[in-house]
Amino acid sequence: MIKPRHFLTLLDRTPAELQNLINTAIRLKDERNNGIKHRELDGKTLAMIFEKSSTRTRISFETGMYELGGHPMFLSSRDIQLGRGETIKDTARVLSRYVHGIMIRTFGHERVVELAEYSTVPVINALTDSFHPCQIMADMMTMQEKFGKIKGLKVAYIGDGNNMAQSWINAAAQMGFHIAIASPKGYWVDYDVVSRAEKYAEKNGGKITLTHHVEEAAENAHVVYTDVWASMGQEEESQKRIKDFQGYQVTREVMNLALKGAVFMHCLPAHRGEEVSEEVLESENSVIFDEAENRLHVQKAILIDCIGGI
């Protein structure tokens, strides 16, 4: 059997393929703005499994499938047997008999990997504890729109070494830009993710810097990025994390260390007054809603790429 065209991390495609997805997304955005309709996924159904909450991911995937002529099926793990202990491998094989693609948001990354292993239709990662590749695709598309390129830019990521930070590492390694991550002690990204990405970075001209110093990361950056200090599933650690992350808020002063014309990005949802000040979030340099919009366009490109041909 031919392996389905899964999209689990940014390492699942070549740099040229990732660039192609971004170019397609920009074209789809332009065509949507000009009222051009699409039917690439006519007759195709996407199962969308959510084991965590979502606003952007759910709505952009549902709208994207609909706009491509396909059918999105929202499946909360609270309502399907997966939430009552049915195994991932059985769920994968059952859903594969009905639908043309499966999108999943879950906890451990190994759940997505197992789903993909047993599924005979493409699986798309819509966030795990380790990676959020669809978000970073939208962010890179936003970089391309703002700066006309992705290669050679510097992205400063200030905060938790979480799923967003780890996907940024893969993105920089693949697309040839510099990711500089400033995190407090005890909150660094996984060493395994870095060492794997380093091999790609060497080949593609990417650079990965890890530091405890916000200034070192932010200096001369084109993009300053942050994310929540407590991700989904870490709610009980919130108070401890607020203490541990003091000094890691993106403020006007931090933005001033970046290049003139630098943009502020955040995957959202944001916690004003924690990882970012209200002033920066609402500033002219903030492109947070462009990023959110671009989820729709880039995921349409990913959907066509994964399930358009089956």
Contact set with ligand NVA (CB under 6 A)? 127, 162-164, 227-228, 231-232, 267
93 is catalytic: no
Which of 267, 299, 305, 306 is labelled catalytic? Answer: 267
Question: Site for ligand CP (CB under 6 A): which residue of 24, 77, 106, 135?
Answer: 135
306 is catalytic: no
Q: Considering beta carbons, is residue 157 or 200 the nearer one to ligand CP?
A: 157
56 is catalytic: no
The one of ligand NVA, ligand CP, none whose footprint includes residue 162, by CB under 5 to 8 A per kind, is ligand NVA
Which of 58, 105, 178, 297 is labelled catalytic? Answer: 105
Q: Considering beta carbons, is residue 119 or 231 the nearer one to ligand NVA?
A: 231
CA-to-CA separations, 135 to 56, 104, 262, 292, 297, in angstroms, rounded: 10, 14, 19, 8, 11
**Minimum gap (Å) between residue 162 Cβ and ligand NVA:** 5
Residue by residue, DSSP assigns 3-72 as PP--BSSGGGS-HHHHHHHHHHHHHHHHHHHTT----TTTT-EEEEEESS--SHHHHHHHHHHHHTT-EE
Q: Considering beta carbons, is residue 96 or 162 the nearer one to ligand NVA?
A: 162
The one of ligand CP, ligand NVA, none whose footprint includes residue 182, by CB under 5 to 8 A per kind, is none
What 3-state DSSP class applies to 266? strand
> What Rg, from alpha-carbon coordinates, does the chain have?
19
**Minimum gap (Å) between residue 181 Cβ and ligand NVA:** 14
**Spatial distance between the Cα atoms of 299 and 49, rounded to a whole number of angstroms:** 16
Which of 6, 227, 241, 266 is labelled catalytic? Answer: 227
146 touching ligand CP, by CB under 6 A: no
190 is catalytic: no
The length of the chain is 310
295 is catalytic: yes
HSE-up (13 A, CA, CB side) for residue 257: 16
132 is catalytic: yes
Active-site residue numbers?
105, 132, 135, 227, 267, 295
